[in-house]
Amino acid sequence: MAVAFFSVNSESGLKKLDECLLTRSYITGYQASKDDITVHAALSKPPPPEYVNVARWYNHIEALLRISGVSGEGCGVTIEGSAPAEAVATPPAADTKTSAAEDDDDDDVDLFGEETEEEKKAAEERAAAVKASGKKKESGKSSVLMDVKPWDDETDMKKLEEAVRSVKLDGLLWGASKLAPVGYGIKKLQIMLTIVDDLVSVDNLIEDYLTAEPVNEYVQSCDIVAFNKI
């Protein structure tokens, strides 16, 4: 079902958009889509910080556009005085192969959800192809989506994120993040990062820095949710 917004650059329009994003991460559905690109393009400038939910969403979409692009089709969105959704250009994503079953199943296309069997298979095929060719791009980059889990519900998640971002390495760039519920009052940090393949290994980043002192005071474990070559 198409969604309509009224003049998102006005105070009333921004307020409505902020209320809409209070309980959701994206304009429609469970992954970034052309609907998010349409609304993002309709904004004449970054939203004021007092519109907390809009600002959080805007920064997240900005990060996705820089790192991996947005490939979801969305449900359709219209904005008074803006171009139709199909007229908005969308940067290509790292991997746009999805099956019809994935399009119909929201759980499979959740950006911050569990990696699907299809995604795992695709990642294995890409790794096998690189190994078989024996070639490696110079200074290649990868975008990574990671789950960072605290020790318990008493862990200060703000300090946890500060500890994670305090890890600074050549070839490592931290991106957008958000907190997501795990259960029993516990939340996890979901964070995006970009690495230069020749300089940073994600496995070493986790083992030597994110789960080692002093960061492990807050971090119990880290899981790679998605890994895409740029």
pLDDT tens digits, one per residue of 161-178: 999 999 999 999 999 999
User: Is residue 184 in a domain?
Assistant: yes
| Contact indicator for 228, 139 with CB cutoff of 8 Å | no
Residues 142 and 213 in one domain: yes
Residues 82 and 146 in one domain: no
| Contact indicator for 212, 176 with CB cutoff of 8 Å | no
| Contact indicator for 230, 68 with CB cutoff of 8 Å | yes
Residues 83 and 147 in one domain: no
Q: Residues 187-197: what's their mean pLDDT?
A: 92
Q: Read off the pLDDT band of 112 (50, 70, 90).
A: very low
User: Is residue 224 in a domain?
Assistant: yes
Give me the domain span that covers residue 160.
138-229
- Choose one of 24, 56, 87: the last residue of a domain: 87
Residues 219 and 149 in one domain: yes
User: Is residue 173 in a domain?
Assistant: yes
User: Is residue 152 in a domain?
Assistant: yes
Task: Quote the number of domains for the chain.
Answer: 2
Three-class DSSP category at 67: helix
Specify the pairing of strand 219-229 against strand 172-183.
unpaired
- Choose one of 71, 87, 103: the last residue of a domain: 87
| CA atoms of 172 and 166, how far apart (whole Å) | 11
Instruction: Note the pTM of the prediction, 2 decimals.
Output: 0.43
User: Is residue 100 in a domain?
Assistant: no
Residue 179: per-residue pLDDT: 92
User: Is residue 27 in a domain?
Assistant: yes
User: Is residue 145 in a domain?
Assistant: yes
| CA atoms of 115 and 126, how far apart (whole Å) | 15
- Choose one of 47, 64, 87: the last residue of a domain: 87
User: Is residue 93 in a domain?
Assistant: no
| CA atoms of 60 and 149, how far apart (whole Å) | 20
| Contact indicator for 152, 219 with CB cutoff of 8 Å | no
| CA atoms of 182 and 212, how far apart (whole Å) | 23
pLDDT tens digits, one per residue of 47-98: 898 999 999 989 888 888 877 677 777 777 777 654 333 333 444 444 444 4
Residues 142 and 225 in one domain: yes
pLDDT tens digits, one per residue of 137-155: 456 888 899 999 999 999 9
Domain of residue 174, CATH code: 3.30.70.60
Residues 82 and 145 in one domain: no
Task: Report the 10 Å Cβ neighbour count for 113.
Answer: 15
Residues 145 and 212 in one domain: yes
